[in-house]
């Protein structure tokens, strides 16, 4: 009897997963728009994920005495793909001397970054989980991944110690399996 | 106490000069300035803890260490709550220590205080815990809970924790964690699904079955942010403990009036009673906020609270 209840729940869960998977939404492909647009995320883009770093993964961790511990440069990548495509990303942030000034993170790397920088660990850690959900939902899954057809926006966080040494060159290249390649250069001064 | 604070600050400053070490003291709590009876009270931990955390990670993230002291302001002194030494090896992450690991844990999106089941279990206690790197979104974990006293290795296997997680990009994540205990017996299955396939909606279903104790818990949670400045939440839970059932339903809408002011209305209904409330909070900055609440839970109540939550 006990196991039957669990099996019943798992059955309901499986049906829900199947139904919700069918409902997964992405805006339709628009042939009038470029396949890939790369830009620096705006304050409004970032603010959409929460007001403070406790809930917003794209805001730097901050402490009362030491201030901001890191500096983020958030890259916004907008996809508009006619069909499912393989995506490859190259991301560099180099200082004047050619050394790495900051590092680009994918979803797992960014979650690991926050795991090392979350100062509170409550029994009720829903706030932390909300932050991780935001990362899973919006951060690039890896530097090589498959992207579904249609319009979708992902973010690529570039993270350095605060401050990232100036000047720093941010270089992003996004290539699709259709052969298109888009480059974004930004001089951080 | 002063010496402890100085020591902790010293640790914090060590972290400030090393990019590979994160140390932080986090204090949080609340002060009820006045309630409907004209009374006030200081609650130093609020709903959480005061913690000192030390985390050290190799710059490429290949290995690290973490430990946490909980409720550092207690007169009982310094007590390590959990610690972990970990390394990226064998195609995954190997952790050893007095664990408190949420890799295979799932909570409801908000987990309100009125919600009677808000999250599944962590992997916890002394153990050797391996989590494979995700391949095509699939990862698994095994924890061997070696105890501080010598015991039969076979019993360790019989008490292993087995976790699995599948992340379908653009759809959501499925979790399961089986806390085996074939010795007592006391097997516990934790499972859940987090759906993120629709923009602005997070839907979560969680379940916990303690088969040998005839105890079952299930929860559903939704968070919707599709309306500008509005966050809507709904949570519903059901538990059955040795045949005794309980339930709770909670809903809340929070509207960001400005960047600093939030207005909230909500209510809960459970087998133990009900509560409806409205609140307005103001973010004072620097980790401080004030909130005024008026509600009715068989009697009218009102509170004005000051919250603090700082890290340094």
- Alpha-carbon distance of A64 to A47, in angstroms, equals 21
**B76 phi and psi angles, rounded to 5 deg:** -70, -10
Instruction: Give yes or no for residue A54 having a pLDDT over 90.
Output: no
Sign of CA dihedral A65, A101, A41, A105: negative
- What confidence tier does B80 reach under pLDDT thresholds 50, 70, 90? confident
pLDDT tens sequence across A14-24: 666 555 555 55
Nearest to B32 by CA among B301, B299, B274, B263: B301
Closest CA to B190 of B88, B99, B91, B101: B101
The three-state secondary structure class of A23 is helix
Contact B290, B281 (CB under 8 A): yes
Facing B107 at nearest CB: one of A21, A62, A126: A126
- Distance between CA atoms of residues B23 and B10, nearest Å: 10
Whole-prediction pTM: 0.85
Please report which helix (H) or strand (E) contains residue A101, including its range.
Answer: strand A100-104
pLDDT at B82 over 90: yes
- ipTM for the predicted complex comes to 0.81
Q: Report the pLDDT averaged over residues A112-138.
A: 84
Residues 26-85 of A with CB under 8 A from B: 26, 51, 54, 62-66, 69
Q: How many CB atoms lie within 10 A of CB A116?
A: 18
In this complex, is the C-beta atom of B88 within 8 Å of any C-beta atom belonging to chain A? no
Task: Judge whether A105 and A160 are in contact, CB under 8 Å.
Answer: no
Specify the pLDDT at position A2.
55
Q: Using a pLDDT cut of 70, give the percent of chain B over it.
A: 91
* Disruptive mutation site among B12, B19, B61 for chain A (greatest number of A CBs within 10 Å): B61
Radius of gyration of the CA atoms of chain A, in A: 19
Residue B199: its chain A contacts at CB < 8 A? 25
Contact by Cβ (8 Å): B166, B159: no
Bond preceding residue B3 cis, omega within 30 of 0 = no
* B121 → chain A, closest CA residue: A123
Position A1 scores a pLDDT of 45
Q: How close A183 gets to chain B, by Cα (Å)? A: 25
Which of A3-7, A68-72, A87-91 is least confident? Answer: A3-7
> Which H/E stretch holds residue A87?
strand A85-95
Task: Annotate A117-157 with three-state secondary structure.
Answer: CCCCCCCCCHHHHHHHHHHHHHECCCCEEEECCEEEEEEEE
* Cβ-defined contact of B49 to A130 (cutoff 8 Å): no
A173 has a pLDDT exceeding 90 = yes
Q: What is the pLDDT of residue A26?
A: 65
Question: Is residue B60 less than 8 Å (CB to CB) from chain A?
Answer: no
Contact B25 A119 (CB under 8 A): yes
Strands A85-95 and A100-104: antiparallel
Q: Are strands B63-70 and A62-63 parallel, antiparallel or unpaired?
A: unpaired
Of A164, A127, A101, nearest to B233 by C-alpha is A127
* Planar angle of CA A55, B112, B284, nearest 5 degrees: 50
Q: At A40, list the tokens.
A: 């620096």
- Whether residue A138 has pLDDT greater than 70: yes
Task: Give me the phi and psi of A134, to 5 degrees please.
Answer: -60, -40
Q: Using 50, 70 and 90 to split pLDDT, how confident is the model at B176?
A: very high
Q: What is the pLDDT of residue B151?
A: 87
In the prediction, which pLDDT does B58 show? 86
Beta bridge partners, B220, equal B205, B236
Residue A16 phi/psi, 5-degree rounding, is -60, -45
CB B173 within 8 A of CB B135: no
Residue pair B167/A136 in contact by the 8 Å Cβ criterion: yes
Taking CB atoms and an 8 Å limit, are A121 and B216 in contact across chains?
Answer: no
Residue of A nearest to B311 (CA): A63
Rg (CA), chain B: 22
Tell me which chain A residues have a C-beta less than 8 angstroms from the C-beta of B207.
6, 9-10, 13
- Mean pLDDT along residues A75-87: 95
DSSP, res A165: P
Q: Where are the alpha helices (DSSP H) in A48-116?
A: 107-115
């Amino acid at each position: 009897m006990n196991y039957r209840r669990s099996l019943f729940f798992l059955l309901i869960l499986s049906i829900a997963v199947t139904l919700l998977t069918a409902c997964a939404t992405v805006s339709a492909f628009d042939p009038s728009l470029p396949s890939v647009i790369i830009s620096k995320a705006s304050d409004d883009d970032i603010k959409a994920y929460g007001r403070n770093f406790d809930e917003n993964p794209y805001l730097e961790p901050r402490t009362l005495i030491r201030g901001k511990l890191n500096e983020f440069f958030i890259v916004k990548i907008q996809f508009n793909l006619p069909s499912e495509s393989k995506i490859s990303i190259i991301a560099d942030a180099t200082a004047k001397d050619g050394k790495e000034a900051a590092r680009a993170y994918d979803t797992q790397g960014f979650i690991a970054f926050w795991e090392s920088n979350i100062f509170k660990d409550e029994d009720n850690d829903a706030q932390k989980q909300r932050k991780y959900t935001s990362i899973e939902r919006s951060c690039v899954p890896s530097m090589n991944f498959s992207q579904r057809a249609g319009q979708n926006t992902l973010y690529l966080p570039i993270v350095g110690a605060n401050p990232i040494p100036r000047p720093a060159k941010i270089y992003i290249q996004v290539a699709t399996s259709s052969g298109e390649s888009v480059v974004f250069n930004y001089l951080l001064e | 106490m002063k010496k402890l604070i100085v020591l902790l600050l010293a640790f914090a400053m060590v972290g400030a000069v090393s990019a590979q070490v994160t140390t932080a003291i986090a204090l949080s709590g609340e002060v009820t300035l006045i309630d409907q009876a004209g009374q006030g009270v200081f609650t130093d931990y609020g709903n959480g803890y005061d913690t000192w955390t030390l985390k050290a990670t190799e710059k490429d993230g290949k290995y690290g260490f973490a430990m946490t002291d909980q409720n550092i302001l207690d007169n009982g002194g310094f007590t390590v709550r959990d610690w972990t030494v970990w390394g990226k090896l064998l195609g995954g992450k190997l952790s050893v220590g007095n664990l408190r690991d949420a890799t295979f844990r799932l909570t409801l999106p908000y987990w309100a205080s009125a919600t009677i089941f808000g999250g599944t279990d962590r992997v916890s206690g002394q153990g050797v815990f391996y989590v494979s790197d995700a391949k095509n979104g699939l990862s698994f974990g095994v924890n061997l809970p070696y105890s501080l006293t010598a015991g039969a290795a076979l019993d360790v296997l019989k008490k292993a924790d087995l976790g699995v997680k599948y992340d379908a990009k653009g759809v959501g994540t499925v979790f399961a964690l089986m806390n085996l205990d074939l010795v007592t017996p006391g097997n516990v299955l934790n499972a859940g699904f987090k759906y993120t396939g629709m923009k602005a909606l997070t839907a979560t279903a969680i379940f916990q079955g303690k088969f040998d104790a005839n105890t079952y818990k299930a929860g559903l949670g939704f968070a919707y942010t599709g309306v500008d400045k509005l966050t809507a939440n709904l949570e519903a839970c059901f538990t059955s403990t040795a045949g005794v059932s309980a339930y709770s339903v909670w809903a809340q809408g929070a509207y960001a009036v400005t960047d600093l002011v939030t207005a909230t209305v909500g209510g809960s209904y459970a087998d133990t009673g009900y509560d409806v409330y409205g609140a307005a909070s103001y973010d004072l900055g620097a980790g401080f906020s004030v909130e005024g609440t008026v509600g009715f839970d068989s009697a009218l109540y009102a509170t004005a609270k000051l919250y603090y939550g700082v890290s340094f």
